[in-house]
Amino acid sequence: MSDFTRQTILHCIEKFGVQRIFKPGQSLHFQDDGVTDIFFIEDGIATATYYEKSGKETWVTSYGLGDIVGLENLHSEGSAQNQVTARGEVKVYQFKRTTFLELIRRFPELNEYVFGQLADRLRKLQINQMENHLLTKRGRVASEIIRLAEPHNHHGDGYIVSPKPVISDMALRLGIARETVSRTVSDLIKNQVIERSRNAFVVPDLSLLEAEMR
């Protein structure tokens, strides 16, 4: 999210919300609890996780700067389908659901912003469904590294993933056994598809990583 967009949205909402700070491990809301509040993330990262009765955890999504938590229950109060927890310190603006809905009606900029967030989440869901169906586990790991990679001037035409992703987090996001993800990453490093630096993965040639998805 650009600084301009952030300032525009904050100008619309900051007077109507309560600024809060969630500490690492603290939950914005719990699974199956009634959702009465909407959260606009000003800083930090929170993770949504689904817990089965057996205790198995399934990663759902992550929320970062500018993301809005609780949109799925915007028009009607319902139960949370997952638990949203702060990964580190998370700063938010918190709103009552009815208040945020009124703000959307009042500010066209916010209306457009919320629509864009919902469209982006739908697009990501469709991509995940296609990858789960079409790609091998190795291909899904490669796709996840590509998603995280950004151009890096110090590596010519290469890309970099920084900070280096935590294997257990990748496994949770992809729904793949941690051992499988670890073995795949090690093999990609061995074959020089990616390189391990101090706190990052370097991708010298993105096409080699893309080839792992075929």
Domain boundaries for CATH 2.60.120.10 within the chain: 3-132
CATH topology of domain 136-211: Arc Repressor Mutant, subunit A (1.10.10)
Report the predicted TM-score, pTM, of the whole model to 2 decimal places. Answer: 0.76
CATH number for the domain whose boundaries are 3-132: 2.60.120.10
141-188, pLDDT tens digit by residue? Answer: 999 999 889 887 665 668 899 888 889 888 888 888 999 999 999 999
178-191, pLDDT tens digit by residue? Answer: 999 999 999 999 99
Three state DSSP letters for the chain: CCHHHHHHHHHHHCCCCEEEEECCCCEEECCCCECCEEEEEEECCEEEEEECCCCCEEEEEEECCCCEECHHHCCCCCECCCEEEECCCEEEEEEEHHHHHHHHHHCHHHHHHHHHHHHHHHHHHHHHHHHHHHCCHHHHHHHHHHHHCEECHHHCCCEEECCCCCHHHHHHHHCCCHHHHHHHHHHHHHCCCCEECCCCEEECCHHHHHHCCC
Domain boundaries for CATH 1.10.10.10 within the chain: 136-211
